[in-house]
Amino acid sequence: MQFNSSVFHIICSLKLKTLFLLLGIWVSLPPSAEGQLSNILEKFSLVQNGNTVIANFSIVSGASCNGVTLERRLADDSTFQEAGVIQGVCGGSEFIEHYSIVDESPNLGALNNYRLILGFTGKSSEVVILVIELNNEYTLFPQPMDEEVFVKFNNPNNEAVTLRVFDAQGRRVKELKGLNNDLIFIDGSSLGSGLFIFQIEFTSSRLISGKFIRLAN
């Protein structure tokens, strides 16, 4: 049966509640990963790249805002800190202008709230992202797993990936195609106990592989 990626995203959003509990965090997240649009802001979204956060945003044509500042705060803190800045006039005369600001020092293992200060034209709404510390190419949690394990990996361009899981004898026991996220979960309810190997294959042929352990029921 072909895997439905839209179903995956719905399931994954529910599974994030479990993830936040594992990290000792609970919060009510907005339904969208993008900030609300303002009169000059066409789009504002966040993506984790390694242990940094990239803020991507677009300014409508003809808009002048005298520079943009990216600010960050912890979810339980009311004080914002400057995370990056772009100087000068923004917005093209006849076209939408796209920008990116990289936050090199987000709070790892925590929910980070971001907003854009759009010069003299106001500010954006806040966008929330959970920044998970990546030690190498990926992070697994929890380990050992019971019913499920989350895999966080670097996928800043939301490239489509295929997840495959093999048992200790090299037999493929699970395959999910058409995933385009950087946080996926492996449902272990149909797996036995023991050592398993997973592979994440990108459309660009990049390959991430690792191991996880499932406890006996």
Q: How far apart are CA 107 and CA 100, in angstroms?
A: 19
Q: What is the pLDDT of residues 162-210, one digit of tens each?
A: 999 998 888 899 999 988 888 888 888 888 888 898 999 999 888 888 8
Residues whose CB falls within 8 Å of the CB of residue 205, separated by 6 or more in sequence, listed in order: none
pTM for the whole structure: 0.64
Domains belonging to the chain, first-starting first, are: 41-131 (2.60.40.10), 134-214 (2.60.40.3080)
Mean pLDDT of 103-109: 91
**Strand order in 52-59's β-sheet?**
41-49, 52-59, 97-103
The reported pLDDT for the residue numbered 72 is 97
- 65-91 per-position pLDDT tens digit: 778 999 999 988 999 999 999 887 676
Of 1-5, 99-103, 113-117, the range with the lowest mean pLDDT is 1-5
Q: What is the pLDDT of residue 217?
A: 67
Residue 48 has pLDDT above 80, yes or no: yes
| Residue 90, both tokens | 């923004």
Amino acid at 193: S
Mapped onto helix, strand or coil, the DSSP state of residue 8 is: helix
| Cβ atoms 127, 46 nearer than 8 A | yes
pLDDT tens, 108-157?
A: 888 999 999 988 888 899 999 888 887 777 888 887 887 888 898 988 88
